[in-house]
Structures are given as C-alpha cells and as structure tokens.
Structure 1
Amino acid sequence: MKIVYSDGHRIHYPKNFLVSGSQQQNPEVPERADALISSVKDAGHIIVTPRSFGAAPRGAVHSPEYLEFLENIYTRWQRIPDASPEVIPNIHPQARGASLGVAGYPASAVGQAGYHMADTACPIGEGTWEAACLSADIATQAAQLILDGAPEAYALCRPPGHHAFADMAGGFCYLNNSAIAAQYLRERLGTVAVLDVDLHHGNGTQAIFYDRDDVLTISLHADPVRFYPFFWGFADERGTGRGLGYNFNLPLPRGTTGDNFLKSLQKATQRISAFGPSALVVALGLDAHEADPLAGLALTTDDFGKVARAIAALGLPTVLVQEGGYLTAALGDNLKTFLEGFAAGRDRAS
C-alpha cells in the first residue's frame, strides 16, 4: 500500500491541555506518528512524500475567515502581555450565529480564539499552522493517488482533523483532513462516503456535510452522553435539508468490545452499499483500542484486522486518513494489523 507521510509534522508539539479543569500533558505528540511510520516501514509499504496543493483544498472545506485566523493567531497572541506560550481560549460564546444571539465577530485575538476554538484541547503553537497545512496536503495527496488509479492509500496525518468544523478547531484538530480528502474526491468523482471509526464522534466532519446529499457521513464512536465531544454524535442526528438521511451515527456503550463493534460496523457498511458512492474515506482512529489512554472502547489488536477486512470488502477506492490513536505499546501493531486486514479483505473481495 502507498503511505503518504512527511516528518514536517514535528514542528507542531503541543505541551498541555485542560481536562476537567486540570492541566495535563497533551497526548497528541510527534512520537505517536513515529510509532505509526515505523510500523509501516517495517511492513515494507511504499512511502510517498506529499506535494503542496496550495490553499484550494483547504478553502473548499474551511471558511476564509477561519483560515486567516489559524495562519495568524499565534503571532498575534504573542503580542498580548503575559500571554500563554500557546493559544488557549479563556472564553467561548454559548451560541454562534445571528439567529442565536451572537452576530458580531470580535477584533481581538482573545475573542477570536474563543470564537474559533471549541475547547481547550486544541492549543495553537508556533508550528501548528504549517503542520496542519502539511497534514491537509498529506490527505489530499492520498486522494490524488486514488484518482491516479491506486485502489487504496493511507494518509499518515498529524495533527488529526475530524473534530475541526468549517470555522472551528477542537479536540487536537485544526484542518479537517478527512473532509478535505472527501471534498477533493467529490469534485472529481461522483458521490463519496466518509466512515469514521475513531473512538470519538467525527463532529467536525458531520457538521461540514450535514446539509448535503452528495457525501454520506457515518460515525461509530463511544456514546457522547458521557464522553467527548458530548454535544454531537447522537443517533437522532440524521442531517438537515437536502442532507436529511445522509448522516448516520452509531453511538456505542463505553467498553464495547470487538464483536459488538463489528455488529454496528455491519450496519454502517450496509448503509454505504445502499448509497453507492464512487469512493470511500475512512477516518481511521486507533484509539478504540483497549489500552489507549483515552479509554473509551475495548477493541483488541486483532479486532482492527477484522474491522479493516469488513471495510475493504466494500470494494471501493479508499483513502485511509489517520485520526486518533495515542501512545501505547500496541499502537504500531494496531496499524500494521489494520493494513494487513485491509489487504486481506481486498483479496477476498476480488
């Protein structure tokens, strides 16, 4: 399999984030990508260096206002007396949009940080913008490989992206790599499906495509009633307008094991087959593993192979986009097993 990767992500190295009011070390660190790339190199996969695709793929998904904010906020933040080393908002508007009482757009860096950052788990440092753009290029390059005839490609993206909305960062995510890949394919092919198997609901991806009928979005994740992102990911969120029925959430109880995850995955693959897309984007989270520090679901390493085989059996041109999955001894093996399972599923489907 072709693996798109660049070590330029290292310039993004967030130090801290807040959890339940407590400052903790950020788990979204360069070492997680080190474990993943080491695994695929050991397995003999082909490493592809991404080219720059410029601003267009980002601009097709994110608002110009938000992109301008991301590019400049770190420099602006450093001009504030006694500012924190990283951009972390201390205010969030409770409602956004004129119909909900927030019509204005603040001029201050502090106000804009609150407006464009959903939580305190997406600190912006000196290299964040450049790393996020590179991560988006990696996803776009993987999509381009599909257009060039590859049956599948894996985008080793860091930082991840599926919690990023069109105009808002959140949960370690700044640019929505999975949505960028899906939109890039959609502009050149027919309809596209996005299947998110990360531990957490892909709330940003859902929001970006929520009123559209040309991109089907499906997410399997820990039930948000007591788990991040809390406010999105419920089963009754089905889309709106033309998009009604084109969003499908499968929330799972905390501690769900592989067998029950696979039962829900079957519902997801049936929905994808009914939609009949030209291509598939998989938001691949490895944080559903039983030993992951974010502790939500309980898949084993072998389970990731089974999940991959079920997805590959769809027989669709597929971009695999790396999302979550944090440092454990099993992280590299989880990816290796998934990619092996995907190849086995392809062979069976053919």
Structure 2
Amino acid sequence: MPRAIETQDLVKEYGDLRALDELSISVEDGEFFGLLGPNGAGKTTFIEILVGLVRKSGGEARVFGQDVVDDYREVRDAIGLAPQEYNVDRFFPIREVLQHKAGYHGIPEDEAERRADEALKTVGIYDKRDERFDWLSGGMKRRLLLARALVTDPDLLILDEPTAGVDVQLRHDLWNIVQELNEGGTTVLLTTHYIEEAERLCDRVAIINEGRKLEVASPDELMDRGTDTIYVRTQTTPSTAPDLTHLDRVEGVTIEDGRLAVRAKQGGRVAPQVLNELEARGHEIVDLEITRTSLEEVFVELTNDDGEGARSGEESAGIPGGDSA
C-alpha cells in the first residue's frame, strides 16, 4: 500500500529564497499527521504543492503513489482541502457551492446533490443550505470550508489552520468531526498554531522551520524529550534540597512553596525512584504532583535552536503564494 503522502528532497524556490529546503516527509495511509512550524516555515507552500496550486522547484512529491505533477488529476481527486483563507463563491447558496465543487471532479448531478446534503449534515449546517456564504457567521464559514473538502469523499483530508479564529466550543466540535472521519479511514494532514490541537489529535507531528524538517515524532515522544517537574510534599519541609542527581534522568532539586521540585526527564518513570530515595532518607511523603513539559515548550525550544527562527511576516508576504500559516 503506497503512503498517503511521500516527499523526497522537496524544494520550492522564489528567486534566492528557499521556501522549502529538501523537505522529506512521509504520512502513512490512515494516519492523523500534524505539520507544525512558525509563520513562514513553509507549511502552506507544502500543501499548495500537493494540491497543484504551486509547482515544485525540485525533488519528488507523491500522494497515494501518484506524482503531484504527472498524475495531477488523480492526486487532486484524492484530496479534500479546507484552506486557511476563505475562497468561496459568494453568489450562490452554499448547497450549490458544494454541488459545483463535486461537479468539477466529475461527480454526476444526482450524486453531487446527495453528497452536498451529506457534507452539510456532517458539519452541522444543513439548515443553512439555501443561504449565501456572506450571510453565514464566522464559525459557519469554517464549517462550510470543511464540508466543501468532504463533498468529493477524499482519501486525504488537508486542513490548513481549520480552527483559526473560532470559539472554543466550535473548535471542539470540529475536532470531533475530524476525529470521526479519521477513525473511518480518512488520512488527515493538519497544520495548526494550536499546540493543544496537535497534542490531542495527531498520531505524529513534523516540526519544520524555514522550509526544513527539524523533527518527526508522536506528541508523547516529543514531550518525553523535555524536562518534567515532580513536586513532592513531605511531612516536614527539608531545610535544604536533597541531591538526587545520581538517579537516572534527574537534573536537579529545589524547594518551591514548601515542596521539593525535582526536575527530570520522563517524570512519570522517574517518580517511583524519587519517592523510594526520599523515604529511604527518612522523609514521609504527603503529596505528589507531576507537571509534564508541554509540546509547546518542545516546539519553542526546537525552533529557537534552529538559527534565528522564522522569516518575518513582511518577508513571507512578499513571496508569491507565500506561506501565511
């Protein structure tokens, strides 16, 4: 079975600027994959190459084994895209917008009508089917973009900042819809600025910066690389912090608000050793709390370590088809 997405040394150049710099990424069929990076990292450029809106400068890109250039039509039919920007025909009722979209992909009229209704029901705006795009609220517009991506029954669903600017309830509603689609077999590629979104939804994430891949791993694997804090409250607060750095993965101990704060990699695994050591030294344990490092902290550390960080918004805005995600 070919991978849902496979790129090898993918390059996109705009003059002297490399928006994508030999980017190699693979996404398995049925996977929920996140693409994270600061503004100007190359996320939207990557998506635009997959869907044929931008032509690559070099390297290879395939979707379900089909080349994005040589097999453009097959690739486009396999993908449903919910873009970050609104690009909807404002003069037709939204049901007709979806019917037109299906028709572009060669779906017969009767089938297009059925699929349009089904997509609108899936995202929860079927009752608005006869209204025009401009009459919808911001949240409903986001739902419509998702419905339009779904109307062709794609094997690969690409979501470019799908919950940007929506309220918390709608964000969770969209999460539930997309999770159900993924559980039904649809491969999902998600770009997002909400780290919580990636933590909750994604099987794996790729962190990219300035068009280059920094890391690919599951959210848990990435968070395991950060430093957790194990807070231990003892019956009597020690006058000085005990030295526990001889324990595997322990980096240091301080006293904070009457508690021992033990900084360690993979805090959940280290905690039993810490408790055993403290009890062996005569400390009576009263309470234990573990604060894990967040994916956001790992993301910031990785992107800050990668040179000077992302290109400025002004630089990105000057690129034709530039990455605004």
Same fold judged by TM-score > 0.5? no
Question: Highest CA radius of gyration, 1 or 2?
Answer: 2
TM-score scaled by structure 2? Answer: 0.30
Higher relative contact order (CA 8 A, sep 6+): 2
Q: Which of the two has greater strand per residue?
A: 2
